[in-house]
Structure 1
Amino acid sequence: MTNIIDDELFDINTVCTIRGHTCVKFGCGAINTFKEDFAKLQKGYKITTVGVITGKSSYKSCGAWDVVKPALDELNIKVLLYDKVKTNPSKKMVNEALELFREDKPQYLISIGGGSPTDTAKVISVLLEFPKKTMEDFYNGEFSPLAEERVPLFVINTTAGTGTEIDQFAVVSDLEFNPPMKPIFVTEAIYPTHAINDPNLLLSVPKGLTLYTGVDALNHAMEACSTVTRSPFSYDLAIRVSHLVHKYLPIALKEPENKTARYWLHYAACIAGISFDNGLLHMTHSLEHSLAAFDPKIPHGLGLAVLQPSVLKRTYAALPKIMAKFLLPFDQTLEGKPEEAEKAACILEKWLMSIGITEKIKDLGFTEKDIPKLVESVYKTPPMSTLLSIAPFPIDKDVVAEVYKEAMTPLSKK
Structure 2
Amino acid sequence: MWDTGMDIRDVQVIRTRTDVYFGVGAIDSIDAIAGQMAARGIKSALVVTGHSAYKVTGAWAKIAPALDRVNIRYAVYDGVTPNPTTGQVDTAVALGADIEAGAVIAIGGGSAIDAGKGAAILLRNPGKTAAALFNCEFAPKEALPILAVNLTHGTGSESNRFAVVTDTEKNFKPVIAFDCIYPTWAIDDPALMATLSEKQTRFVSIDAVNHVIEAATSRSANPLAVMLASETVKLVSKYLPLALREPGNLTARYFLAYAAMIAGVAFDNSLLHYTHALEHPLSAVRPDLAHGLGLSILLPAVVKEIYPARSVVLADLLAPIVPGLTGVPGEAEKAAKGVEKWLVSVGVSEKLADFGFTADDVDSLVDLTLKTPSLSGLLDQAPTEANRLSIASIYLNSLGWIS
- What interval of TM-score do these two structures reach, taking the shorter chain for normalisation? over 0.9
Q: Deviations over 1:318-373 (max 9, x none)?
A: 11110000111123311110111100110110110111111001112211111111
Matched-pair contact (CA < 8 Å) for 1:162–1:217: yes
* CA–CA distance in structure 2, aligned partners of residues 226 and 131 of structure 1: 39
- Which residue, 327, 346, 371 being the options, matches 2:337? 346
- Which residue, 240, 252, 265 being the options, matches 2:256? 265
1:42 aligns with 2:33: no
* CA–CA distance in structure 2, aligned partners of residues 247 and 389 of structure 1: 32
Output the amino acid matched with 2:31. K
1:89 aligns with 2:68: no
* CA–CA distance in structure 1, aligned partners of residues 323 and 340 of structure 2: 16
Find the residue that maps to 1:155 and give its secondary structure.
Answer: strand
Shift of residue 18, structure 1, vs aligned partner? 0.9
TM-score with structure 1 setting the length: 0.96
Q: Deviations over 1:268-317 (max 9, x none)?
A: 00000000000100000000000001011111000000000000112211
Find the residue that maps to 1:165 and give its secondary structure.
Answer: helix
Aligned to 1:229: 220
Matched-pair contact (CA < 8 Å) for 1:211–1:253: yes
Aligned to 1:98: 93
Change (3 A) 1:256 1:348: same
Output the amino acid matched with 1:78. R
Aligned to 2:289: 298
Q: What stretches of structure 2 of length at least 5 have no aligned partner?
A: none
Aligned to 1:10: 6
**Aligned ranges 1:164-175 → 2 under 5 Å:** 164-175=157-168
Find the residue that maps to 1:201 and give its secondary structure.
Answer: helix
* CA–CA distance in structure 2, aligned partners of residues 75 and 270 of structure 1: 29
Shift of residue 125, structure 1, vs aligned partner? 0.3
Aligned to 1:135: 130
Output the amino acid matched with 1:42. A
- Which residue, 22, 26, 42 being the options, matches 1:26? 22
**Aligned ranges 1:336-375 → 2 under 5 Å:** 336-375=327-366
1:217 aligns with 2:208: yes
Shift of residue 197, structure 1, vs aligned partner? 0.2
**Aligned ranges 1:176-215 → 2 under 5 Å:** 176-177=169-170, 180-215=171-206
Q: What stretches of structure 1 of length at least 5 have no aligned partner?
A: none
Shift of residue 239, structure 1, vs aligned partner? 0.5
Matched-pair contact (CA < 8 Å) for 2:135–2:174: no
Matched-pair contact (CA < 8 Å) for 1:171–1:185: yes
- Which residue, 370, 382, 386 being the options, matches 2:377? 386
Shift of residue 100, structure 1, vs aligned partner? 1.2
Aligned to 1:61: 56
* CA–CA distance in structure 2, aligned partners of residues 400 and 373 of structure 1: 11
Shift of residue 103, structure 1, vs aligned partner? 1.6
Shift of residue 136, structure 1, vs aligned partner? 3.2
Matched-pair contact (CA < 8 Å) for 1:227–1:279: yes
Aligned to 2:150: 157
* CA–CA distance in structure 2, aligned partners of residues 196 and 144 of structure 1: 27
Matched-pair contact (CA < 8 Å) for 2:104–2:145: yes
* CA–CA distance in structure 1, aligned partners of residues 168 and 33 of structure 2: 38
Output the amino acid matched with 1:24. V
Number of aligned residues: 403
Find the residue that maps to 1:315 and give its secondary structure.
Answer: helix
Aligned to 1:113: 108
Output the amino acid matched with 2:239. Y
Matched-pair contact (CA < 8 Å) for 2:305–2:394: no
Shift of residue 246, structure 1, vs aligned partner? 0.6
Output the amino acid matched with 2:145. P
Q: Deviations over 1:117-143 (max 9, x none)?
A: 100000110101111212233244232
* CA–CA distance in structure 1, aligned partners of residues 168 and 140 of structure 2: 24
Find the residue that maps to 2:104 and give its secondary structure.
Answer: strand
Aligned to 1:330: 321
Matched-pair contact (CA < 8 Å) for 1:315–1:323: no
* CA–CA distance in structure 2, aligned partners of residues 89 and 276 of structure 1: 21
Which has the larger displacement, 32-41 or 402-411? Answer: 32-41
Shift of residue 110, structure 1, vs aligned partner? 0.5
* CA–CA distance in structure 2, aligned partners of residues 116 and 279 of structure 1: 22
Which stretches of structure 1, 4 residues or more, deviate above 6 A after TM superposition?
none
Aligned to 1:288: 279
Matched-pair contact (CA < 8 Å) for 2:47–2:75: yes
* CA–CA distance in structure 1, aligned partners of residues 379 and 67 of structure 2: 44
Change (3 A) 1:207 1:173: same
1:245 aligns with 2:241: no
TM-score with structure 2 setting the length: 0.98
